[in-house]
A and B are shown apart, each in its own frame.
Chain A
Amino acid sequence: MASIELPLEAGRAPAPVQGWTLLAALPWFAAVAVLLLVPDLTYQPLGRELALIWGAVGGVLTLLGLFGNRLGRVGRWSALRGPWLFAIGAASVLWTVVTAKTGWLPQPFFPTPQAMLEVFLYDYGKILHSAAFSIWLLAKGFFFGAIAGFLIGVGMGWSRAVSYWATPLLRYIGPLPATAWLPLAFFIFPSSGSASVFLIAFSTAFPVAVLTWSGIAAVNRDYYEIARTLGASPLFLIVKVAIPSALPHVFVGLFMGLSTSFAVLVVAEMLGVEAGLGWYLQWAQGWAAYANMYAALFVMAAMCSGLITLLFRIRDRVLVWQKGVVRW
């Protein structure tokens, strides 16, 4: 164990091999051994294919462990993630044992790794299609909601009249979960798709409006006076002073809006939209296809975290000036 060092302590000359990465290959090979050598309780498909995949992972990790420090980006990644790669391999062993080999976790509620592979192999088209549909629906709703919320927030922050009329409405209607509108929205809108876009927009707009508004209210008054003595018009004060200064708040609102819109999206798809990951989940439940449900959940998590990451990237780019002002 002494030769294994956590790769996080960077700065010294690179070690000849990545200890953790090499170690991480072991559980993957162990998983192959368990899969092939221990008999399954019931018939499982694709055992050999899965063994091939896991074996390949173990092989790649071995190579990365041996030569990774000479490989640049990929090598740096594996050096950093060695302990995680180990843990995932170990989890695969455990999973195989408690489902396929011993049945400690009952079938079919806890599918075997082989069954999961089967779903991804034979149903990936439908899953990807559902994911793409969900993303598109979410994108439309989020886009309109963010714009509407932003404009409402700017209007409330800037104009007394807008604030007078909008504040009570926002106070009263805003906190209502957007999903409560679902039955009505499906009834009013021509299609369940447009109803969902509206509800996602609605749930996004509320936090974006509130935070944009508070961001604009918090702008340092001196900024306005400085801009005015420099010859700024009211439009300039809004666009070049108030809005840039309020942007950090706006992004907080966007993050909150995106999170709530996920919930609205899934519920809307489950209840009325005949496509998307939420619908897939519902459909799989109807057929008691538990492996498909886990697959859909897995893809859904990837989608949500991917979109949040994307928003983080955009924020890092737009608010690059904030680095060093605040800790992220």
Chain B
Amino acid sequence: MVTAALKEDLPGAGREISIEAVSHRFDLEGAPLPVLDDVSFTIEPGSFVALLGPSGCGKSTLLRLIAGLDHPASGAIRVDGAQVGAPDPSRILVFQDPTLFPWRTVRANVALGLEAQGTLKTEGHRIDAAINLVGLQGFDKAYPHQLSGGMAQRVALARALVNQPNVLLLDEPLGKLDSLTRLAMQTELVRLWQQSGLTAVLVTHDVEEALYLAQRVIVFGPRPAQVVADLTVDLPYPRHRGHPRIAELRHEALRHLGLEASW
């Protein structure tokens, strides 16, 4: 019932994202720093894709481009055929830090998107549904400093989901959590994705996490990032971390990352 409130009138749920020959560079003290080098791939609507690569290779940059926070130096990014322009609540980015607004309660943080879009009056009922969805009922009056890291990240997820995004961009959202919370949240991410039907793009540098969560893992090389492998994780959910196929794929992913020796 909770999810029904979030799912109702989801217009077309997940969307297709196509990255077309995208290159990007930053200006670092006058010298150009190439970050993405001719990256192309397409993400199926409603799928869960993980972007895996060494730290600093340009994964976050690509996610920001999809969100519309930056624009690619060359190439194009299309969502359902339309070129990405300004940021839009249909594509929401969840950062590694929950970055909740400390002056707002949990409830007011979750309400942020509806407030910004001016739909608080008509869509306010979704706030409770979103808070329940991430299992934080009873905490709506708490302030961010009263939450643990895992709870804060759940609030960040609820703040995104309440807007019924078609695309959820996750930038190492579990990167700072302790390992137990991390495992629990991974299972929950899968549940949230399955229930909402949106397209999920997860950036991670954790091979296990990518293979446990995603249907497809795109592996990038060192900066400037290029796609070095595109692995399909052909396992049904719920998955088991010890599954031999996952071990196999991990070997392959590590090989593409040049870490074969550590397998």
Binding site for B on A (CB under 8 A): 220, 222-223, 225-233, 236, 240-241, 244-245, 247, 319, 321-322, 324-325
Tell whether B102 is near chain A: CB-to-CB under 8 Å: yes
Given the complex, which residues of A lie within 8 Å of B92, measured CB to CB? 229-230
Given the complex, which residues of A lie within 8 Å of B42, measured CB to CB? none
Whether A228 contacts B87 by the Cβ 8 Å rule is yes
Given the complex, which residues of B lie within 8 Å of A322, measured CB to CB? 102-103
> Of A220, A225, A232, which one neighbours B116 at CB under 8 angstroms?
A232
Tell whether B97 is near chain A: CB-to-CB under 8 Å: yes
Q: Which of B69, B103, B163 has the most CB of A within 10 A?
A: B103
A231 in contact with B116 given A223-B101, A244-B103, A325-B102 (CB within 8 Å): yes
Given the complex, which residues of A lie within 8 Å of B101, measured CB to CB? 223, 241, 244-245
A245 in contact with B145 given A230-B112, A231-B113 (CB within 8 Å): no
Given the complex, which residues of B lie within 8 Å of A222, measured CB to CB? 95, 97, 99
Whether A321 contacts B89 by the Cβ 8 Å rule is no
4 nearest A-B pairs in the assembled complex, by CB-CB distance: A230-B113, A232-B116, A231-B89, A231-B117
Whether A227 contacts B112 by the Cβ 8 Å rule is yes
Within 100-130 of B, Cβ neighbours of A (below 8 Å) are at 101-105, 112-113, 115-117
Whether A324 contacts B143 by the Cβ 8 Å rule is yes
Given the complex, which residues of A lie within 8 Å of B260, measured CB to CB? none
User: What are 29 A-B contacts with C-beta separation under 8 Å?
Assistant: A222-B95, A223-B101, A225-B69, A225-B87, A226-B93, A226-B95, A227-B116, A228-B69, A229-B69, A229-B88, A229-B91, A230-B92, A230-B112, A231-B113, A231-B163, A232-B116, A236-B115, A236-B116, A240-B115, A240-B116, A244-B103, A245-B101, A247-B103, A319-B103, A321-B105, A321-B143, A324-B143, A324-B145, A324-B146
Bound Cα distance A231, B117 (Å): 6
Known pairs A223-B101, A244-B104, A321-B145 / 18 extra A-B pairs, C-beta < 8 Å? A222-B97, A222-B99, A225-B69, A225-B93, A227-B116, A229-B67, A229-B87, A229-B89, A230-B159, A231-B88, A231-B163, A232-B116, A244-B103, A245-B101, A245-B103, A319-B103, A321-B103, A322-B102
Bound Cα distance A233, B112 (Å): 12
Whether B93 contacts A229 by the Cβ 8 Å rule is yes
Q: Which residue of B lies closest to A236 (CB)?
A: B116
Whole-angstrom distance from the CB of A246 to the nearest CB of chain B? 10
In the complex, which range does the number of interface residues on chain B fall in? Answer: 20 to 34
Whole-angstrom distance from the CB of A226 to the nearest CB of chain B? 6
Given the complex, which residues of B lie within 8 Å of A231, measured CB to CB? 87-89, 113, 116-117, 163
Whether B95 contacts A230 by the Cβ 8 Å rule is no
Whether A325 contacts B145 by the Cβ 8 Å rule is yes
Bound Cα distance A321, B92 (Å): 26
Given the complex, which residues of B lie within 8 Å of A247, measured CB to CB? 103
Given the complex, which residues of A lie within 8 Å of B68, measured CB to CB? 229
Bound Cα distance A231, B118 (Å): 9
Q: Which of B101, B113, B117 has the most CB of A within 10 A?
A: B101
Bound Cα distance A223, B104 (Å): 12
Q: Which residue of A lies closest to B93 (CB)?
A: A229
Q: Which residue of A lies closest to B112 (CB)?
A: A230
Given the complex, which residues of A lie within 8 Å of B105, measured CB to CB? 321
Bound Cα distance A147, B69 (Å): 34
Bound Cα distance A275, B89 (Å): 59
Given the complex, which residues of A lie within 8 Å of B112, measured CB to CB? 226-227, 230
Whether B99 contacts A233 by the Cβ 8 Å rule is no
Bound Cα distance A168, B50 (Å): 51
Given the complex, which residues of B lie within 8 Å of A236, measured CB to CB? 115-116
Given the complex, which residues of A lie within 8 Å of B117, measured CB to CB? 230-231
Bound Cα distance A225, B97 (Å): 13
Q: Which of A225, A228, A229, A240 has the most CB of B within 10 A?
A: A229
Whole-angstrom distance from the CB of B157 to the nearest CB of chain A? 13
Interface residues as binary, B145-163 with A (CB distance below 8 Å gives 1, 0 otherwise): 1100000000000010001
Given the complex, which residues of B lie within 8 Å of A241, measured CB to CB? 101
Given the complex, which residues of B lie within 8 Å of A223, measured CB to CB? 99, 101
Q: Which of A222, A223, A225, A322 has the most CB of B within 10 A?
A: A225
Bound Cα distance A325, B146 (Å): 9
Q: Which residue of A lies closest to B162 (CB)?
A: A230
Given the complex, which residues of B lie within 8 Å of A245, measured CB to CB? 101, 103
Bound Cα distance A163, B67 (Å): 30
Interface residues as binary, B71-103 with A (CB distance below 8 Å gives 1, 0 otherwise): 000000000000000111101110101010111
Q: Which residue of A lies closest to B70 (CB)?
A: A225
